[in-house]
Amino acid sequence: MPLTHISLRSGKPEAYRQAICDSFHQAMNETFNVPEDNDFAIITEHESANFRYDASFLGIARTDDLVFIKITANNTRTIEQKKALFKRIAELLSENPGLRPEDVFISLVEVEKENWSLGNGIAQYA
């Protein structure tokens, strides 16, 4: 049950933003065993003054097209699945909407299954 927050600089067209969501969701389906109908993502756009990053941290050359992807998910995946997810997200975002892999920044936050309520005030996985 991943919940994804995607942050990018303002100004990209709707089709670009939708392509990010679609490519990201495909990667989740392929590598994290996320069902097709399990699609929960929030995109926020930020003016340049509110979108800070280091252009060369760890020797990675980033541009203003940088996208931050924060995934909150159950802590049930292996390290191999996580590596496969990160790689596949970068590959698919490179294909559509054309992001450079260097501009794909991913953070995975793992939580216990009982920490979710997906509606009706019920902890569905507890």
Q: Identify the active-site residue in 2, 13, 35, 97.
A: 2
Phi, psi of 120 (to 5 degrees): 65, 15
Q: If we measure between CA atoms, which residue out of 45, 64, 46, 70 comes closest to residue 103?
A: 64
In a domain, residue 120? The reply is no
45-97 pLDDT, tens digit per residue, is 999 999 999 999 999 999 999 999 999 999 999 999 999 999 999 999 999 99
Is residue 124 situated within a structural domain? no
How many other CB atoms are there within 10 angstroms of residue 38's CB atom?
Answer: 15
Q: In this model, does residue 1 exceed pLDDT 80?
A: no
Decide: pTM greater than 0.95. Answer: no
Instruction: Quote the number of domains for the chain.
Output: 1
CA distances from 43 to 12, 30, 80 (A): 11, 21, 27
- Could you tell me if residue 55 is inside a domain? yes
Position 123 in a domain = no
Q: Say how far apart CA 112 and CA 52 lie, in whole Å.
A: 30
Contact present, 100 and 63 (Cβ < 8 Å):
yes
C-beta of residue 101 within 8 angstroms of C-beta of residue 20: no
Cβ neighbours around 97 below 10 Å, total: 19
DSSP state, residue 51: -
- Within a domain: 106: yes
Task: Specify if 26 maps to a domain.
Answer: yes
2 is catalytic: yes
Domain for residue 125, yes or no? no
Kindly report the number of other CB atoms within 10 A of residue 93's CB atom: 23
Q: What is the pLDDT of residue 125?
A: 86
What integer pLDDT is reported at residue 6 of this predicted model? 98
Residue 91 belongs to domain spanning: 3-115
Residue 89 lies in a domain: yes
pLDDT exceeds 90 at position 119: yes
CATH at residue 30:
3.30.429.10
Q: Look at residue 13 in the predicted model and tell me its pLDDT.
A: 97
Percent with pLDDT over 90 in the chain: 91
